[in-house]
Amino acid sequence: MAHLDETDRRLLRIVQSDASLSHAALAERIGVSPTSCWRRIRALEEAGVLGASVRLVAPDSVGRGVSVMLQVRMKSHTGAAAQDFESFVAGRPEILECYSMSGEWDYLMRIVVEGVADYERFLMRDLLNHPNVATSASHFALSQVKYTTAIPV
């Protein structure tokens, strides 16, 4: 865990809400020089605290308005089976998040698709035909109550 002072924390809170700000604008908001701000950002990147800067796309605006939470149970729990399945997951653009889980289900995923028919094709043709998948359970989101990418710091 990186040592973060209050200036680092302010910087992290700001860049999580608007990564498009220039170093000069960030520096002004956190009360340091632009050079100091640049050094802090570089140090946070090198420490692995800050990752890539991206812009978030509104799913509805690009025809991906259906969100599905998918639980998956594996047939086998060997390292090779997990690696094979996780490689499959990495190659699927509709799978936005995938977590290896404790408990009854082995994986939990968040999937975005155009519609129910699009999801059915993915589920029936691809996921359930994967040699290591035993079964799955799908849960369709009715509405998004909260969504954030900001980590509390």
- 79 burial (CB, 10 Å; 0-12 / 13-18 / 19+) is exposed
Is pTM beyond 0.85? Reply is yes
Task: For 52-110, write each residue's pLDDT tens digit.
Answer: 999 999 999 999 999 999 999 999 999 999 999 999 999 999 999 999 999 999 999 99
Task: For 121-147, write each residue's pLDDT tens digit.
Answer: 999 999 999 999 999 999 999 999 999
Measured torsion, CA atoms of residues 112, 117, 119, 123, in degrees rounded to the nearest 10: -170
The domains located in the chain, with CATH, are 6-46 (1.10.10.10), 59-140 (3.30.70.920)
Beta carbons within 8 Å of 121's beta carbon, 6+ residues apart: none
